[in-house]
Amino acid sequence: MTDKEEADMAGQTPLVGIIMGSKSDLEVMKECAAQLEELGVPYELVVASAHRQPAKVHEWAAGAADRGIRVIVAAAGKAAHLGGVVAAYTPLPVVTVPMKTSDLGGLDSLLSMVQMPTGVPVACVAINGAKNAAILATQILGTAMPEYRARIEEYKAAMADA
């Protein structure tokens, strides 16, 4: 991205909302933010735990669609309920990122995320798959916004050339 594109993006309405359960998730989730920046997608980022700050999660998720957010990326670890709780409060698609954990290696996070009950789906990328979450979110935007479809086509072409 050029400096001008970056400056423009700073003033744009976020299209992707990134939420994570703890500041300790930020190191991994920076990769998601960086990939969105590379693809030119405006985003917002918030730390809010489904267990420790349920009211904050509720307020953020319930208002996301009306703020202009089109896709949510939710990252959490251990008993990772954040993505499912967010999905309960929004009509938007939710892409979840299971965090690698010290006790169970992230399998706990993964299973907590993918085993959602019928009626409340979330998509789920790999353990610590922050970058893929950004790409998938951009692909979802691209179904209705041609400029993001074009960014993904460029990204794939560059990958094939590498």
Q: Give the binding site for ligand RP5 (CB under 6 A).
A: 21-22, 24-25, 49, 76-78, 99
Q: What phi and psi values does residue 19 have, to the nearest 5 degrees?
A: -125, 140
Which is closer to ligand RP5, CB of 99 or CB of 137?
99
Which is closer to ligand RP5, CB of 21 or CB of 142?
21
Q: Which two tokens stand for residue 158?
A: 């560059």
Least Å distance between CB 152 and ligand RP5? 28
Least Å distance between CB 134 and ligand RP5? 18
| Residue that has been written with the tokens 């959602």 in this structure | 116
Least Å distance between CB 49 and ligand RP5? 5
DSSP secondary structure letter of residue 126: -
Distance CA 101, CA 66 (A): 34
Which is closer to ligand RP5, CB of 76 or CB of 127?
76
Least Å distance between CB 31 and ligand RP5? 15
Q: Which two tokens stand for residue 95?
A: 């892409």
Which is closer to ligand RP5, CB of 83 or CB of 142?
83
Distance CA 140, CA 36 (A): 13
Q: Which two tokens stand for residue 87?
A: 């999905």
